[in-house]
């Protein structure tokens, strides 16, 4: 079900993605394969094979053919946890993107919600809603 968790509509995905962990200078120091649990124009929830620390900058590569998207976005880990039920490492990512990327993400999320049947419960955020 597509959810409105603040300012952006969020869609459940469960698709693979690539994540480059960045050092303080913005250079990639290593990459991880992650699962994109859900996505919005403002951020994502991912699972990874290792714990990520809050405050860690990263670049998330989002690719899909249906609906189409091929976009790399910069973000920061804002929440990290280990799920008690299965020990999965989860991280909430807040994106730092410009308007073109935000528009592309919004279009993708809305199309993905319709494609996966989540659009029937889609609730758009109110104008001026807080994050």
16 in a structural domain: yes
Print the domain residue range for 51. Answer: 3-114
Backbone conformation region of residue 6, classed left if phi is above 0, alpha if psi is from -120 to 50, else beta: left
77 in a structural domain: yes
pLDDT digits (tens, 9 = 90+) for 76-121: 999 999 987 888 899 999 999 999 999 999 999 999 888 888 865 5
pLDDT band at 8 (very low <50, low <70, confident <90, very high): confident
pLDDT band at 2 (very low <50, low <70, confident <90, very high): very low
pLDDT band at 127 (very low <50, low <70, confident <90, very high): low
- Give the count of domains, the chain: 1
Q: What is the 3-state secondary structure (H, E, C) of 30-87?
A: EEEEEEEEEECCCEEEEEECCCCCCCCEEEEEEEEECCEEEEEEEEEEEEEEECCCCC
Please state the pTM of the whole predicted model. 0.81
């Amino acid at each position: 079900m597509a959810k409105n968790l603040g300012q952006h509509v969020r869609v459940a995905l469960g698709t693979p993605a690539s994540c480059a962990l960045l050092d303080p200078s913005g250079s990639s120091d290593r990459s991880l394969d992650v699962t994109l649990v859900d996505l919005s124009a403002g951020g994502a929830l991912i699972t990874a094979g290792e714990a990520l620390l809050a405050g860690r900058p990263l670049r998330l590569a989002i690719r899909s053919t249906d609906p189409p998207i091929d976009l790399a976005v910069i973000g920061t880990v804002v929440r990290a946890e280990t799920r008690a039920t299965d020990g999965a490492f989860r991280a909430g990512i807040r994106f730092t993107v410009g308007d073109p990327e935000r528009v592309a993400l919004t279009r993708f999320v809305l199309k993905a919600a319709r494609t996966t049947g989540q659009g029937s419960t889609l609730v758009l955020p109110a104008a001026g809603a807080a994050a």
